[in-house]
Chain A
Amino acid sequence: MTQKRVAELIAAYGAAPDKWPEAERIAALAVLRRDPALQAELRQMAALDAALDRWPSPAAQVDAVALAAHVSATPRPRVVARRPFFRFPIFAWPNAAGLAAAALAGFLVGWSGLDSDYSSAQLDSVDQQIVASLVEDATW
């Protein structure tokens, strides 16, 4: 326990040691006993505490029996078992699996380049036709 911590306790909880945190109280009092500066701080805070205690409580004047009777006459809303916000239909599983398989197959085809071979072969064929037609035009 340090002098600084005792000063913090006084500043936060006031001058009454019974309002200080229980775990720190005994050690704080031991430090306080041998520190005149902290004792002066304690006296100042005690004056504030005394002033605060002169404010009478503006506590509500409520009759406990009447309040309990009134409140407990209030009907409680019926508790309805909660349904999940979205329930995934069981028959949708095969559809979802098929969609995923198709997507995977499409990805694999694109990634492996199978479709590019087909395209280049097709392009070669078109090229040959164009060249042939040009040759034909030139000879004509």
Chain B
Amino acid sequence: MLDPSDDDLMRAAGAGDRAAFGTLVGRHLQRMAGLAGRITGNRGDAEEIVQEAFLRAWLKAPSWLGRENRAGGAAFSTWLGRVVVNLCLDRKRRAVPLPLEAAAEVVDPKPDAFAATAGSEVAARVAQAMATLPDRQRAAIALCHYEGLSNIEAAAMLDVTVGALESLLVRARKSLRAALVDIAPEGSRP
């Protein structure tokens, strides 16, 4: 028996089928959590974002039409990815800088993600270089390099053209190369 499509599961969830929604969550959680983690660089933020994204899916389900029922309609995975990306970018935009008085209390200015997870200096350097990228460039790298999405899927999630996505990727990689040039093996340095 064929597995139900995401659209089938969304329609069932829209009718109140909580088990169908559970299947949908199980299918997409890992990728969305990875995406949110790479873009925010912060596990706590990523957890909140993933929960918010699936809540939006649950609320959207009763009116879900699905790709096959509307011209140009998005696949569920693309729709959900776009929700996650937008929530990540919104959260980054809304991040409130610490007041000057609090500056003395800051012990480690690095993102907590790599402080918690990085086991090596290289990982820490990469995390720091990623954190300094503009938000949309970081999202483009997260989508294409880390999540392995096609250029069409990634562009749809970022709501840009494929050309604009490539431009974001080129600029991001140029900055990352400049930041990490000393990490590259001798033979590969420019």
Interface, chain A (partner B; CB < 8 A): 8, 11-14, 19, 21-22, 43-49, 51-52, 54-62, 64-65, 67-74, 76-77, 79
Interface, chain B (partner A; CB < 8 A): 13, 18, 21-22, 24-26, 29-30, 33-34, 36-38, 40-43, 46-47, 49-51, 54-55, 58-59, 62-63, 111, 113-114, 116-120, 122-123, 125-127, 130, 141, 144-146, 148, 150-151, 162, 166, 169-170, 173-174, 176-177, 180, 183-185, 187-190
User: Within the complex, which residue of A11, A58, A67 is in contact with B29, where a contact is CB–CB below 8 Å?
Assistant: A67
Q: Is the CB of B184 within 8 A of A72?
A: no
A67 / chain B contacts, CB cutoff of 8 Å = 25, 29, 50-51, 54
15 additional contacts (CB under 8 A) given A48-B173, A62-B33, A67-B25: A11-B174, A52-B146, A55-B130, A57-B37, A57-B117, A59-B33, A59-B46, A62-B50, A64-B29, A67-B51, A68-B21, A68-B25, A68-B54, A69-B22, A74-B58
A79 with B62, Cβ < 8 A, contacts A57-B37, A59-B46, A62-B29 known? yes
A56 with B22, Cβ < 8 A, contacts A11-B170, A72-B58 known? no
Q: Is the CB of B190 within 8 A of A59?
A: no
User: Within the complex, which residue of A43, A56, A58, A64 is in contact with B25, where a contact is CB–CB below 8 Å?
Assistant: A64
Closest 3 CB pairs of A and B: A58-B113, A47-B188, A47-B184
The total number of A-B Cβ pairs within 8 Å is 151
